[in-house]
Amino acid sequence: MSKFHVKKGDEVVVLAGKEKGKRGKIITILAGKERVLVEGVQMIKRHTRKSQQHPQGAIVEREGSIHISNVMAATNFDARAAKHATAPATT
């Protein structure tokens, strides 16, 4: 199994894509596909068929996956932002 720079339960920041800048906790890591599910990010609509829980069927909104290279641990992101904010400007 591969080792990744984040793990389940970590708070992360999305670095790229239409959800750039959003924060959330990692719900699941899909190691085989190198993707992660982040709470509240990349929401997709899933159409479910009729069942006892949903007699009419339903449209359920849930998280979609993001490639693991597009997320960074929030602590590292904040440290990087603080470092760049204090660096002297060169002209």
Read off the pLDDT of residues 26-50 as tens digits, 9 standing for 90 and up: 999 999 999 999 999 999 999 999 9
> Does residue 6 lie in a domain region?
no
CA dihedral for 66, 26, 14, 62, sign (positive or negative): positive
* pLDDT bracket for residue 22 (50, 70, 90): very high
The amino acid at residue 82 is A
Cα–Cα distance for residue pair 12/3, rounded to 1 Å: 16
Is the CB of residue 58 less than 8 Å from the CB of residue 40?
no
Q: Is the pTM of this model over 0.75?
A: yes
Average pLDDT of the chain is: 92
Evaluate if residue 89 carries a pLDDT over 80.
no
Q: Is residue 62 pLDDT above 80, yes or no?
A: yes
Q: What is the mean pLDDT of residues 41-61?
A: 94
- At 91 the pLDDT is 66
Q: How many CB atoms within 10 Å of residue 11?
A: 15
Q: Is 85 helix (H, G, I), strand (E, B) or coil?
A: helix
What whole-number distance in Å separates Cα of residue 21 and Cα of residue 43? 15
Residue 79 domain-assigned? yes
Q: Is position 24 within any domain?
A: yes
Looking at the structure of the chain, the number of domains it has is 1
Task: Provide the CATH number for the domain around residue 51.
Answer: 2.30.30.30
Is 22 part of a structural domain of the chain? yes
